[in-house]
Amino acid sequence: MTEVKMNEKTEIDGIIKRLLESLDLKARSLLVTVWGDCVAPHGGTVWLRSLIKLVEPLGLNERVVRTSVFRLQKDGLLTSEQMGRRSFYSLTPSGQHRFAEATHRIYATGDLPWNDQWLLLLLSRRELPEPQRRLVDAELNWLGFGSFGSGIYAHPTATADVIKPLFTELNITSSATLLEAAAIPDSDFASQKTLVQKGWNLDSLEANYGQFIDNFSALSEKISHKSGMDEKKCFIIRSLLVHDYRRVLLRDPMLPAKLLPAGWNGNKARTLFREIYQQVWQDAEKHLMSVLENSTGRLPPASEEFKARFGGLKVNE
């Protein structure tokens, strides 16, 4: 190996080490990232022992993985099947729905079209017990709705189809009213940025996107020609990349571009995320496919939805 390649390998190793030490890598959340990015596209079922082996380079030991998987099962996201001494875990229907929604947001191609309409949700909060109110607030926040107090929520691109499954599951449809609304054009009351400032904390989100950019910009410069890389490193980079981006993105209400401030860090972060992912996804796939197993052996090929990420993953020859 030439001195130049050795130096590049050392630099990449140093960046990976720094990311492993500095990122917020809580075991349960990191496993959710790996499951959504790596396991779900390949059938969604995995032998626990092979999963433990896969995530070991991410700093997760066997005890931590078993504990985290048990908690995910308790939360209703995973279900298990015992075959002899082997345990196999799969997504529940509820888990599949949640992972599909998150996947759509993480690997979307870009800005959503907007017709200047808003979806308003009016909720009779007083009819709900306090634990249920907190749950509804958390779920609506995850779906990107802004809260305007007194049971009023709004989002510019959400649809009734997004709300219905949640409210049906919680059996609170009768406590809610959905309305469509639009600002009156050419009037003194048409400032939609005021509405955005009240409903969402974009300053905090902007700072979080900035931190993601700081975390991965140096890596983007080093991996463009693949020197000093191998399949396992590509898997580590891909997992850390998705995990840190997901951490920020799933707090993002995904507002239309015309409602966002100029120079929005979310656009820069999305471009950086897509560029690095395209560089490492293919070799990372080779690594995870050589490690993960289900009840019949190696996992099936990736789904068409996986191949369509970012509008189509690029295959490097």
How large is the angle between the packed helices 265-291 and 231-249, nearest 10 degrees? Answer: 140
CA dihedral sign of residues 200, 203, 207, 212 = positive
Q: In this structure, are 299 and 210 located in the same domain?
A: yes
CA–CA separation, 234 and 276 (whole Å): 10
Q: How many residues does the chain have?
A: 317
Question: Does 101 reside within a domain?
Answer: yes
CA–CA separation, 104 and 96 (whole Å): 12
Tokens linked to 86: 């082997």
The residues pairing with 256 across neighbouring beta strands, listed in sequence order, are: none
Question: Does 262 reside within a domain?
Answer: yes
Last residue of a domain, one of 182, 217, 234: 182
Three-state DSSP at 296 gives coil
Question: Does 96 reside within a domain?
Answer: yes
Three-state DSSP at 108 gives coil
CA–CA separation, 209 and 111 (whole Å): 16
Give residues with Cβ within 8 angstroms of 199, minimum separation 6.
146, 147, 148, 154
119 contacts 158 by C-beta, under 8 angstroms = yes
Q: In this structure, are 160 and 76 located in the same domain?
A: no
Q: In this structure, are 31 and 85 located in the same domain?
A: yes
Q: In this structure, are 23 and 105 located in the same domain?
A: yes
Look up the pTM and report it: 0.89
Number of H helices, E strands in the chain: 12, 9
CA–CA separation, 88 and 47 (whole Å): 4
How large is the angle between the packed helices 265-291 and 48-55, nearest 10 degrees? Answer: 130
Last residue of a domain, one of 182, 213, 228: 182
What backbone torsions phi and psi does residue 142 show, to the nearest 5 degrees?
-65, -35
- In order along its 317 residues, the chain shows pLDDT tens digits of 555 455 667 888 999 999 999 998 999 999 999 999 999 999 999 999 999 999 999 999 999 999 999 999 999 999 999 999 999 999 998 888 888 888 988 998 777 788 889 999 999 988 899 999 999 999 999 889 999 998 999 999 888 988 888 888 888 999 999 999 887 776 666 677 778 888 999 999 999 999 999 999 988 888 866 666 899 999 999 999 999 999 999 899 989 988 898 899 999 999 999 999 999 999 999 999 999 999 999 999 999 999 999 999 988 76
Q: In this structure, are 227 and 303 located in the same domain?
A: yes
Q: In this structure, are 80 and 224 located in the same domain?
A: yes
Tokens linked to 123: 């909720």
State residue 258's pLDDT score: 86
Question: Does 192 reside within a domain?
Answer: no
Number of domains in the chain: 2
State residue 194's pLDDT score: 79
Question: Does 276 reside within a domain?
Answer: yes
Q: In this structure, are 153 and 282 located in the same domain?
A: no
Q: In this structure, are 222 and 104 located in the same domain?
A: yes
72 contacts 215 by C-beta, under 8 angstroms = no
Question: Domain holding 105: CATH number?
Answer: 1.10.10.10
- Which residue stretches of 143-249 are H helix? 160-169, 192-199, 202-222, 231-249
CA–CA separation, 120 and 115 (whole Å): 15
Question: Does 260 reside within a domain?
Answer: yes
State residue 303's pLDDT score: 94
Q: How many CA atoms lie within 13 A of 255 on its CB side?
A: 25
313 contacts 41 by C-beta, under 8 angstroms = no
Question: Does 272 reside within a domain?
Answer: yes
Q: In this structure, are 17 and 63 located in the same domain?
A: yes
Q: In this structure, are 8 and 75 located in the same domain?
A: yes
Average pLDDT, the chain: 90
Q: In this structure, are 262 and 228 located in the same domain?
A: yes
Question: Does 191 reside within a domain?
Answer: no
Domain that holds residue 128: 117-182
Q: In this structure, are 96 and 123 located in the same domain?
A: no
CA–CA separation, 186 and 307 (whole Å): 44
State residue 187's pLDDT score: 66
Q: How far is CA 145 from CA 103, 111, 165, 201, 264, in A?
A: 18, 17, 15, 12, 19
Tokens linked to 299: 């996992």
